Amino acid sequence: MVEFGGWDMPVEYSGISDEHVAVRTRAGLFDVSHMGEIEIAGNDALALVQWLTSNDASRLAVGQIQYSALTTPAGTFVDDVLVYRMADEHYMLVVNAGNIGKDHDWIRAQAAERGGDTAVVNASARYALIAAQGPQAETVLQSLTAIDLPGIKYYWFAHGEVAGVRATVSRTGYTGEDGFEIFTPPAQADRVWQALLEAGRTVDLKPCGLGARDTLRLEAAMRLCGSDMDEQTTVLEAGLGWIVGWKKQDFLGAARLREQKMNGVERRLAPFEMRDRAIARHGYNVIRDHEQVGVVTSGTQTPFLKKAIGFAMVPVSMAVVGEPLMIDVRGKLVAAEVVPEPFYKRPGRT
């Protein structure tokens, strides 16, 4: 067990590789109850969400979800979030565990400054969150719910019951695989977890820890806020221009992001693959002509692709596919190369 964002969490159950491969080929189960939920409701809820986040929340139908950034006035990350449209003027932001307090304070301060009719509630203690991920996740979960799972499209959600427990089920995840995230009342979460483990036996579903969660998300080239980007990194520098609603009127950081879009960024997150046998880990330096020009933000050996991969923040001139990178791995310079993302894309994704 390790301390993570104030929670005691298992790094692994049966082993990172075993769990990782289970999710890629069958199914895996994650307790991600540490994630935070902040709800924003009231007549001006949409206006506030539009102001706070980079993506265009007006495009969400009720029951739909989008990936977005909670931005600073400099266009950098307070956090990365999923925005759920629960009702016409009711949104739920799913935020990173370590940022719950900071995000809540930030949102409340912005809401107070702007005025308007909104209530901002830190609802994190009201939800446990269980992720069932993998090609067999739908089959396993469907055996425990009357919700029509094939009817839930990618990044949509529905309400119902799972194993007799009230639940909100979204087709989302942090693995690059098909799967679902299940919000339940914490008091009944254990029942849902046990029922999923039991139902998963037929497909050899594996409980998964933080270790596999990290290798899976990285293989899918999904960013980890706080590691790949933070309050010093703009949304464009993180390579996430697709979560900026350029047609939106105004939002926090819009001016900076528009300026960067026009003139280009100076540095950018680049996905890389090692050419030498080594793992470049978070914090290792990227070297050019004996000088540090960048830094590795994430890196691991991926159990499914069996390659050492990662992200590095480098000058934009180096963030091009095919560019060789030299990385200082504990005093030794090793070769890597910028590659296209994602590293892994699941087969037959619709």
Partner 1 sequence: MSSYPTDFKYTKDHEWVRMQDGEATVGITDFAQRQLGDIVFLELPAVGQQVKQGDVLGQIESVKAVSELFAPVSGEVTATNAALVTHPEGINTAPHDSWMVRIRASAPAEAGALLDAAAYASLVK
Which DSSP letter does residue 60 get? P
Q: Which of residues 186-215 bind partner 1 (CB under 8 A)?
A: 211, 215
If we measure between CA atoms, which residue out of 161, 196, 194, 160 comes closest to residue 179?
196
Q: Is there binding between residue 282 and partner 1 (CB under 8 A)?
A: no
Contact flags string 319-338 toward partner 1, x per CB under 8 A = -----------x--------
Q: Is there binding between residue 3 and partner 1 (CB under 8 A)?
A: no
| Nearer Cβ to partner 1 (25/143) | 25
In the list 4, 7, 12, 72, the residue contacting partner 1 (rule: CB under 8 A) is 12
Q: Is there binding between residue 278 and partner 1 (CB under 8 A)?
A: yes
In the list 31, 41, 300, 319, the residue contacting partner 1 (rule: CB under 8 A) is 300
CA distances from 329 to 164, 276, 284, 336 (A): 51, 11, 6, 11
Q: Is there binding between residue 16 and partner 1 (CB under 8 A)?
A: yes
Half-sphere exposure of 110 (CA within 13 A, CB side): 24
Contacts of 50 (CB under 8 A, 6+ apart): 56, 57, 58, 245, 248, 249, 251
In the complex, minimum distance from the CB of residue 215 to partner 1, in angstroms, rounded to a whole number: 6
| Nearer Cβ to partner 1 (127/284) | 284
* Strand duo 206-208 + 28-31: pairing: parallel
Q: Please report which helix (H) or strand (E) contains residue 210, including its range.
A: helix 210-219
Q: Is there binding between residue 301 and partner 1 (CB under 8 A)?
A: yes
Given phi > 0 = left and psi -120 to 50 = alpha, else beta, which region is 134? left
Q: Is there binding between residue 275 and partner 1 (CB under 8 A)?
A: no
Decide if 32 contacts 131 (C-beta within 8 A): yes
SS3 213: helix
In the complex, minimum distance from the CB of residue 343 to partner 1, in angstroms, rounded to a whole number: 15
Q: Is there binding between residue 277 and partner 1 (CB under 8 A)?
A: yes
In the complex, minimum distance from the CB of residue 309 to partner 1, in angstroms, rounded to a whole number: 12
Number of residues that bind partner 1 (CB under 8 A): 16
| Nearer Cβ to partner 1 (129/308) | 308
Rounded-to-integer distance, Cα 230 and Cα 237, Å: 11
Rounded-to-integer distance, Cα 59 and Cα 325, Å: 39
Contact flags string 215-254 toward partner 1, x per CB under 8 A = x---------------------------------------
Burial (0-12, 13-18, 19+ Cβ within 10 Å), 45: buried
| Nearer Cβ to partner 1 (77/284) | 284
Q: Is there binding between residue 25 and partner 1 (CB under 8 A)?
A: no
Phi/psi at 204 (5° precision): 60, 45
Instruction: Give the interface with partner 1 as residue ranges (CB under 8 A).
Output: 11-12, 15-17, 211, 215, 277-279, 281, 300-301, 303, 308, 330
